[in-house]
Amino acid sequence: MGGDGRIDGGPRSAIVVGAGIVGLSTAWFLQERGVEVTVVDGCGVATGASWGNAGWVAPALTLPLNSPAVLRYGLRSLRDRSAPLHIPMSADRALWSFLVQFAANCRQSVWDRAMQANVPLNEECLEAFDVLVANGVDAPVTDAPITALFRSTHDAEHLMRELRSLADAGQSLSVTELSGEALRAQVPLASRAITAGVNVNGQRFVDPGRFVRALGRAVVDRGATLLTTDVKDVDGSGNGVVVQPAGGAPLTADTAVIATGAWLSRLAGRRLRVPVGSGRGYSFTVPVDRPLPGPVYLPDVRVACTPYREGLRVAGTMEFRAPHHPAVADRVSAIVASASPLLDGVRWDERSDVWVGPRPVTPDGRPVIGELSPHVFVAGGHGMWGLAHGPVTGRLLAEQITTGKQPEVLRPFDPRRRAVA
């Protein structure tokens, strides 16, 4: 692959480093614009956070992590090993540096700015999925509300305030309050402790691993080369880029995209002014006595549940720890202990597919999407919403790469901004 030929000033060839939902979406939309694509990933398609997440395509719930309430909760949770938000006291210097910047951004004004920046992505994210499915990505996308469950209507007020803030920022929302028989019909697994529910309507869910693997097959079927190898360096060179694999000859192209999730900072290096940290999430699968028609959210314990292969995928926790650190069994036990009083008919002791994976988190709640240096672009840092925003990110970034013009909606996500506002 060469880096010296261009059509109408745009790139003819691109190397995308990262085969998760963001990287593969970018590759697909680059192909739509006539670009020859090579995708490189150290482990292959959908092996990171793109596999084990809850599978929600829920634009109405893409709330930034860096709220003042999260900071207060995090400080109270430092000594509680079972808390949904966990920071190990043995964290290294780099992690503590990231957390200091995160804490500095846990301000209402910064949260509001991140929330407003997300609105255009939210408005376009379902359409981006539709484009992929209509053009060869062979995986189901299911329409369903996300149902949040509460012990009382008073407990629901915090989520309702957040949703009202999102609506005030311009997000279109449809919410239905549930109780009594309507609540039991919607969530037959709800325990007697649950007396109130909120349907956030117009959302979707997928089997994330299946969807991303189907996207990978579609990209390859459309002519892409997929290489499974680690990448040591990505650098702009003259009129193109040089990507250096861990072994073998360098790869060259007109442009490159770094979309390596929680590992993004390693390749972007000092060029990236916004650090991308690792907020690890856990998930597992459990059999159920009664099927759920759609996803369930337990806000008070920060647990997400999604219908998955005749059972239930249960996902939760935000653990700030190095991406490659082994799974901590106590974190899974903590999820079970917090969720089990709220759901009946779940066979918690029969869990399988226990997984931990790093979600890429930025201090200011906004992902990094755009040009990092000449011919080198980045896309990542979506936190818990990489699946929902992956396709629309790929579409917008492909537009920027091929036209040389930054879409207006990407300006708040410029990777060259400062991390602390």
> Residue 320: its pLDDT value, please?
85
Question: What pLDDT, in 10s, does the model give residues 107-125?
Answer: 999 999 999 999 999 999 9
CA dist., res. 419 & res. 92, Å (int): 19
State the pLDDT confidence band at 321, using cuts at 50, 70 and 90.
confident
Going from N- to C-terminal start, the domains of the chain cover 6-413
Backbone angles phi, psi at 25, to 5 degrees: -65, -40
Structure tokens at 73: 């909760």
- The answer to whether residues 277 and 360 touch, using CB atoms and an 8 Å cutoff, is yes
CA dist., res. 208 & res. 162, Å (int): 26
Which pTM does this prediction carry? 0.94
Question: What pLDDT, in 10s, does the model give residues 372-388?
Answer: 999 999 999 999 999 99
> Residue 1: its pLDDT value, please?
47
Q: Report the candidate in 332, 311, 309, 417 with the shortest Cα–Cα distance to residue 367.
A: 417
Write down the CATH number for the domain with range 6-413: 3.50.50.60
Indicate whether 295 pLDDT > 80: yes
Q: Report the candidate in 297, 335, 374 with the shortest Cα–Cα distance to residue 60.
A: 297
Average pLDDT over residues 286-290: 96
CA dist., res. 261 & res. 225, Å (int): 20
Q: How far is CA 135 from CA 131, 214, 221, 315, in A?
A: 6, 12, 12, 30
CA dihedral sign, ordered 32, 216, 397, 224:
negative
Average pLDDT over residues 185-190: 96
Q: How far is CA 177 from CA 62, 146, 234, in A?
A: 20, 12, 50
State the pLDDT confidence band at 230, using cuts at 50, 70 and 90.
very high
Distance of CA 413 to the CA centre of its chain: 15
- The answer to whether residues 245 and 42 touch, using CB atoms and an 8 Å cutoff, is no
> Residue 92: its pLDDT value, please?
74
- The answer to whether residues 198 and 175 touch, using CB atoms and an 8 Å cutoff, is yes
State the pLDDT confidence band at 323, using cuts at 50, 70 and 90.
confident
State the pLDDT confidence band at 68, using cuts at 50, 70 and 90.
confident
